[in-house]
Amino acid sequence: MKNKKEISERKLLGIAGMGWMFDAMDVGMLSFIIAALKVEWDLTPGQMGWIGSVNSIGMAVGALIFGLMADRVGRKHVFIITLLLFSVGSGASALTTTLAAFLVLRFFIGAGLGGELPVASTLVSESVSAEKRGRIVVLLESFWAVGWLVAAVISYFIIPKFGWQIALVISALPALYALYLRMGLPDSPRFTAVKDKKKISAFDGMKKLWSKEYRRPTAMLWIVWFCVVFSYYGMFLWLPSVMVMKGFSLIKSFEYVLIMTLAQLPGYFTAAWFIEKFGRKFVLVVYLMGTAVSAYLFGAAGSTAMLMLAGILLSFFNLGAWGGLYAYSPEQYPTVIRGTGTGMAAAIGRIGGILGPLLVGNLVAKQVSISTIFMIFCISVLIGAFAVFFLGKETKRKELI
């Protein structure tokens, strides 16, 4: 029986992880596509910032709406809807010839992405045993690094020779296979157990997040999600463009970002090991502090070697922290409001994702130094680390209710 359960957990991880990987491919390629569109469509820094921000506006809306839906109709159904929305939008965006049409489709792609990620982590959290839950959710997040790696490879080999449109088509088609696999996935056993017993309205669910019992974890999650997403999208969506600003060619910047992306995988794997050994708070605080230091070093780097080292450390710590955040968030709430709580925290985070790329675009246009810009992200990540340290409670091996 134990072996059967382990196979089931591996299958769940594989199916959920594939969707996560395609989401990451899209977000990862977007950073390279923005750099390519700057040349092809002669975009200003402000317009480049809006591409990333519209994506995050969609993610905020998607996280909120689909998080609420997950507590009403189930995790599985929302899981399918979000991937479908993403796949169709991504394929259609390859056909656009204007910035306006591209931005509209980026909103819908973002909604699919924003809805899927918190719902996927909730589904996996509720479907595996308490002693392995943290590790498996972090491993789910590690598919994000695989997706970014594939995105970097596609961008490096495809975009310069065949164009960004072909890259988008490549990312959309395999997602349809993941959609097919997801159809046979069972819903969360915890949701199935409570769905007919404890139904509460969407409004009551949101109100409960700020009740005396859940006020502290909600405040903590909203702060850390905002700070992490603000800094992540501000830094990583601009990474290839920042490399170009530092004097590297477009192809050389793609090559360096590909190397930096490789560091994401050990970041996840070490976090997955530490999270069950030392706990969620340890992983989040340590990896966020590492991210802050790396952001400062990247902005201040005066040589290629220092830039590469700082970029590798930034990828390692930042993505390890993301794994911890996705494991930690669903554990703060009971099943009846878990989708709502996780989705709303992600939605607040996406507001940060809107502001981050816009801020970089405006500061670059005003000729503010890269070191100053990255110092802002360093401070943001430190605030998130302090929020977890002072407001967070350890949830290692806690049984979900």
Question: In tens digits, what is the pLDDT along the chain, a chain of 401 residues?
Answer: 344 444 477 888 888 888 788 888 887 788 778 878 888 888 887 788 788 778 878 988 999 999 889 888 888 888 888 888 888 888 888 888 889 999 999 999 989 988 888 888 888 888 888 888 888 888 888 888 788 778 878 887 888 888 888 888 887 776 677 677 777 778 788 887 776 666 677 788 888 888 988 999 999 999 999 999 999 888 877 776 777 776 666 666 667 777 777 888 888 889 888 988 888 899 999 999 999 999 999 888 877 788 888 889 998 999 899 988 988 998 999 888 898 999 899 999 988 888 887 788 788 888 888 889 999 999 999 999 999 999 988 877 777 77
| Residue 114 included in any domain | yes
Predicted pLDDT at 111: 92
339-363 burial, b if ≥16 CB within 10 A, otherwise e? bbbbbbbbbbbbbbbbbbbbbbbeb
Listed as own residue / partner, the contacts of 172-175 with beta carbons closer than 8 Å and 24 or more positions apart are 172/87, 172/88, 172/90, 172/91, 172/94, 173/91, 174/22, 175/19, 175/22, 175/83, 175/86, 175/87, 175/90
Q: Which two tokens stand for residue 274?
A: 């530490």
How far is residue 81 from each of residues 66, 68, 179, measured CA to CA in Å? 9, 14, 9
**Within a domain: 94:** yes
Question: Rounded CA gap, 243 and 257, in Å?
Answer: 8
Query: Is residue 192 one of the residues assigned to a domain?
Result: no
With CA atoms as reference, report the closest residue to 55 among 8, 93, 111, 11: 111
Question: 277: exposed, middle or buried (C-beta count within 10 Å: 0-12, 13-18, 19+)?
Answer: exposed
Q: Give helix 75-93 / helix 2-40 axis angle, nearest 10°.
A: 30
Whether residue 271 contacts residue 287, with contact meaning beta carbons closer than 8 Å, is answered with: yes
364 touches 47 (CB < 8 A): no
In a domain? residue 399:
no
Distance CA 67, CA 116 (A): 9
* DSSP, residue by residue, 191-211: HHHHTTT----HHHHHHHHTS
pLDDT given at position 292: 96
CATH number reported for the structural domain that contains residue 28 in this entry? 1.20.1250.20
Whether 189 is covered by a domain: the verdict is no
One-character DSSP codes across 216-257 = HHHHHHHHHHHHHHHHHHHHHTTHHHHHHHTT--HHHHHHHH
- Enter the pTM of the model: 0.82
Token pair 């409960």 is found at 208
Residue 142 forms part of a structural domain? yes
| In a domain? residue 1 | no
Which residues form the domain of 234? Answer: 7-183+198-391
Whether residue 105 is contained in a domain is answered as: yes
For residue 278, the 8-state DSSP code is: T
- Total domain count, the chain: 1
Chain Cα centroid distance, residue 311? 18
Q: Angle at Cα 222 formed by Cα 340 and Cα 56, nearest 5°?
A: 80
DSSP-assigned letter for residue 1: -
Q: The tokens of 336 are what?
A: 């009846």
